[in-house]
Amino acid sequence: MKLVKIFAGAALVVSAIAVGQAQQPAAPAQQPAAPTDGRPPQPPEPVPSADLPRPSTTDPRANLKPGGPGEKAAEASWNMELVSNLPKPSGFFDPALPLGTRAPEPPPLPAGAPRTPPNPNQLAYTNSDLAFSGNNVIVGNYHGFNTYNIERANKPQLIASVVCPGGQGDVSTWGNLLFMSVEQTRGRLDCGLQGVVPPVSNERFRGVRIFDITDLKNPKQVAAVQTCRGSHTHTLVPDPKDKSHIFLYASGTGGVRSGEELEGCSGKDAKEDQNTSLFSIDVIEVPIAAPEKSRIVNQPRLFASDNNIAGLWMGGDHGPNTQRTSTTNQCHDITVYSEIGLAAGACSGNGILMDIKDPRNPKRLDFVSDKGFAYWHSATFNNDGTKVLFTDEWGGGGRPRCRAVDPLTWGADAIYDIVDGKLIHKGYYKLPAAQSEQENCVAHNGSLIPVPGRDLMVQAWYQGGLSVFDFTDSANAKEIAYFDRGPINGDAMLSGGYWSTYWYNGNLYGSEMARGIDVFKLKPSELLSQNEIDAAMQFRLQEFNSQNQPKVVWPASSAVAKAYLDQLNRNKAISAARASAVLSSLSKVDQLRTGKEGSAKATLEALDAVAAQVEGDAKAATGRDAARLKALAETLKGRAQALR
């Protein structure tokens, strides 16, 4: 294989079709200093209250047969179908450790020898987040990224593999630009495999890489924005008033690098240094036509209170039988909903709501804490922008946190209604099936499924699989579909499972950390009708980055009208006579092609009359069903208007 190297500014670009070379082990990376007497003692695990609800041990997912070297784990699915699986391509796994194989134990240390500190660059070949562009999905990886054509979702085709180590490899796209987060200390400006050993080096890269993907088969790195903590994740933030720029909110969760390596960096506590690199995010401005000029334009103190930049949760538990919550000195993920000018930040020790009408200067509106949350990880708005769901990554994603002993309110989702700019807690959702000690499992990344009239979400739970649930009733979220596999190995916990699961143009896509990429289809059931699935499929995107949440607008189609009708029938919120009239009128309208047929005028007037009757029904109804009746009436009127 040939390695193509292209210089772009000061950065060496590996346009990577040369994945075979990635199988060479990387050089040792920079290691943090460790006390000579070994690791510092860890505080004991918090003990949850015995009266908190626990997951089911009789669910079909609870005791799935594990895999192992050369053996596939058992699978369980409900109301969905796995239509394709593509394993990782060469260069993105360790050939010496096939799936399900345990790494050999390191040799014992001599008596009195100091313990080796934990390696900050583990998970070297882990699949991470997904981004979508046209008929392509880009799968981030700690070792680079892979691009697949998904025009035929049941037969994804690998287009190109880009080797560019540095973790965590979160990706997003905007037009012909691709952005990738880099946080590990092994990351190099030139995408090299050899890592960076010295503690201070002008070869190290930690921040956000920018690639030109005009030619998806030959991405070219055109910019590399250095940050003090690296970029664990980033969020694209469009400015409605400025189409020539895109902004990034970069969140770093790693250690602060030395000021000798990058000027201005400081890892000191806020009490010692008001200019510390902690307690902020990086706002990066990207000129779309000249991405090489990208730069940090702001580092807002989103956690400040009463002139104290460290003004939110300072770490620790909340009392007896409560969780030990991380200090709020960083955000892990920020989801923006530009259509309504809001963002939700999952910021280690707190969930925060922000005003982003000026993307350069996000402002905190409200913040919340939860005595059962360990680490506020990510956020998702509902389509109306009236609620936000926060996730808790208890155990950091590498621990089994869905066992029978683990509460359904720890390592879970917390659902908040947004009322007058304030976050009001309503309920929780967690994977309801118990998982084993050999499965890393906790709430992780997901997206809305665009079914009109409902708040549906698909979510990754690492080795807990993926879960589809309805949180239309914020206080009573309910699962409606799932897919799960047994442990990768039945004797030891090997890291794996779904990092991200997202809906995109009619299918569900899962980035499996160890097994590659999976594609799913939803199946109709008593909990989700075929009409509702068809309506969701009518919302199409040319690009999707889950942390830049789009506003879903459905066409005034018969499928959308029937989806509302199915929901009203399910709730017994519409009379049989009215439902029959709606279906009859739609059936006649669907036979029209141009609206100029001889019978068109009478047919369209009849549909308008039914719409008016449904509108009257809406005035007499309450709650969510009143909104559905109103939406049904508007859809029927829109269906008629489109043919006039």
Structure tokens, 260: 């000798």
Structure tokens, 643: 């043919």
What pLDDT sits at residue 112?
Answer: 75
User: Each residue of 257-286: b (16+ CB within 10 Å) or e?
Assistant: beeebbeebbbeebeeeeebbbbbbbbbbb
DSSP code for 613: H
What pLDDT sits at residue 19?
Answer: 27
Q: How far apart are CA 147 and CA 171, in angstroms?
A: 11
What pLDDT sits at residue 11?
Answer: 33
Low-confidence ranges of the chain (pLDDT < 50): 1-38
What pLDDT sits at residue 383?
Answer: 98
What pLDDT sits at residue 108?
Answer: 82
Paired strand residues for 49? none
Structure tokens, 272: 């010692």
What pLDDT sits at residue 33?
Answer: 39
pLDDT digits (tens, 9 = 90+) for 534-552: 999 999 999 999 999 999 9
pTM of the model: 0.92
Residue ranges of domains in the chain, CATH in brackets: 4-24+60-98+119-541 (2.130.10.10), 558-641 (no CATH)
HSE toward the beta carbon, residue 278, CA cutoff 13 A: 22
pLDDT digits (tens, 9 = 90+) for 122-175: 568 999 999 999 999 999 999 999 999 999 999 999 999 999 999 999 999 999
**Listed residue (544, 471, 451) closest to 501, CA to CA:** 544
Give the 3-state secondary structure of 118-179: CCCCCCCCCEEEEEEECCEEEEEECCEEEEEECCCCCCCEEEEEEECCCCEEEEEEECCEEE
Radius of gyration of the chain (CA): 25
Structure tokens, 479: 């699962």
User: Each residue of 460-482: b (16+ CB within 10 Å) or e?
Assistant: bbbbbbbbbbbbbebeebebbbb
What pLDDT sits at residue 45?
Answer: 87
Report yes or no: 260 and 200 within 8 Å, Cβ to Cβ: yes
What pLDDT sits at residue 9?
Answer: 33
Structure tokens, 312: 């939110």
Q: How far apart are CA 595 and CA 644, in angstroms?
A: 6
What pLDDT sits at residue 120?
Answer: 53
